[in-house]
Homo-oligomer: A and B are copies of this chain.
Amino acid sequence: MRITFVGSGAIGSLFGGLLKKGGSDVLLIGRQDHVRSIKRNGLTISGIEKFTINIDASTNPLDAEDSDLIVITTKAYDTKKALLDVVPILTNNIKVMSLQNGVGNIEEISKYVEDHNVLGSVTSMGALLEAPGKVQFRGKGTTFVGELSKEGKYAKKISNIFNNAGIKTQFTNDIFCEIWSKAIINSAINPIASIFDNKNGILLDENLLKIVREVTNEGRTILQKDGINIPNDIFEKTLEVINNTSNNINSTLSDLRNGNKTEIDYISGKIVEVGHKLGLPTSYNKTLFDMIKYKENILLKS
Contacts and interface: CB of A to CB of B under 8 A. Distances in A.
Contact of A287 (B211, B281, B294, B297): B211
Chain A interface extent, by class: 20 to 34
User: How many copies of this protein are present in the complex?
Assistant: 2
Interface string A272-302: 0000000001011011101101100110000
Interface stretch (A26-34, A69-77, A202-210): A202-210
Contact of A281 (B205, B207, B283, B297): B283
A287 B214 contact: yes
Contacts of A53: none
Contacts of A214: 283, 286-287
Nearest to A202: B294
A281 B281 CA distance: 9
A293 B284 CA distance: 17
Contacts of A195: 195, 291
A196 interface: yes
A297 B211 contact: no
A297 B281 CA distance: 29
Contacts of A298: 205
A133 to B, nearest CB: 37
Contact of A210 (B207, B208, B210, B290): B290
B293 A207 contact: yes
A118 to B, nearest CB: 34
Contacts of A283: 214, 218, 281, 283-284, 287
A196 B210 CA distance: 20
Contacts of A196: 294
A276 B248 CA distance: 36
11 contacts: A195-B195, A195-B291, A205-B297, A207-B291, A208-B290, A210-B286, A211-B291, A283-B283, A283-B284, A287-B287, A287-B288
